[in-house]
Amino acid sequence: MATWSAPGKVFLFGEHAVLYEKPGIALAIRPRVYVTVRKTSHPHHAKSPYIDQCFREFGVKGSVYINSQLPSSSGLGSSAAVTVATLAAINDEFDMGRSKEQIAELAWKIEKKVQKGRASATDTTVSTYGGMFLIKEGTRKRLAPQNYHLVIGNSQISHSTSRMVEKVAEMKSKHPAIINPVLDSIEAIVMDAMKHLDEPAYLGKLMDMNHCLLEMLGVGHPQLSRLVLAARSTGAFGAKITGAGGGGCMVALAPKNIRARIAGAIEVFDGRAIITCIDTEGLRKE
């Protein structure tokens, strides 16, 4: 029996734009997903195309038990965390001898297959290695982890990442003269953020701008706007949608001493709050 865990992720900047050759900044967060794999003659596991695909890639059969502290389909990268941890647990249980690098690559390949080609390497990279990354197409640059205090607000509105990705593609083909500059502006935000990673107050302003641009891409939702405004008006440095949008989660960057107050405000507006920080550990054997 082998148990491995992997963290969730948030996009600080650049979701959606990363699918158009733009850079993005994402980081690993607690909570994480725990996956146990066991060789058995009667394999069974939860119905999941990601898990099916993990076994198919390795050409083995086994049982899987998942303990996830990450809400699923909320934009916190739970499918990538499950995929990465399942691959690592199979690799361990069946002595397949794959490196972390190979697991990250395989996990991205599985995400692309299950999500029909439209998945950046962000979630699988961040979940495998932990910490913070600048992601651009297939490349990654590890960034020095910062002591950010984050408050996530889950709108509890279900959304579909692929539907949101399609929506942005439609917007872009209908209004290229408007949407292309929006994507360029998101890129400019990422490049500016790279020079100010140790200045949360500055980054907060950039997050507010990135949020507006995501709304222009058509992935806003009234409930996400409420949570973002609740966080800002309670003293967050900045707040934005994180992930695909249209529901799912927002993230606020906050001064340490008011995290709880921001979480309270998010809950008042019917969100589920998670107070968290960067998880510098990626895949971990339990």
**Cβ closer to ligand PMV: 29 or 103?**
29
Residue 253 structure tokens: 């960057």
Point out the residue whose Cβ comes nearest to ligand PMV: 243
**Cβ closer to ligand PMV: 120 or 154?**
120
**Cβ closer to ligand PMV: 93 or 111?**
111
CB of 219 to ligand PMV, least distance (A): 8
CB of 19 to ligand PMV, least distance (A): 6
**Cβ closer to ligand PMV: 44 or 163?**
163
CB of 282 to ligand PMV, least distance (A): 17
Options 92, 95, 123, 279, the catalytic residue = 123
CB of 3 to ligand PMV, least distance (A): 24
Question: How far is residue 276's CA from residue 264's CA, in Å, rounded to a whole number?
Answer: 14
Shortest CA distance to 66 belongs to which of 20, 35, 29? 35
**Interface ranges with ligand PMV (CB under 6 A):** 15-16, 18-19, 75, 77, 119-120, 122-123, 161, 165, 243-244
CB of 83 to ligand PMV, least distance (A): 12
- 123 classed as catalytic: yes
Question: How far is residue 112's CA from residue 267's CA, in Å, rounded to a whole number?
Answer: 34
Active site residues: 123
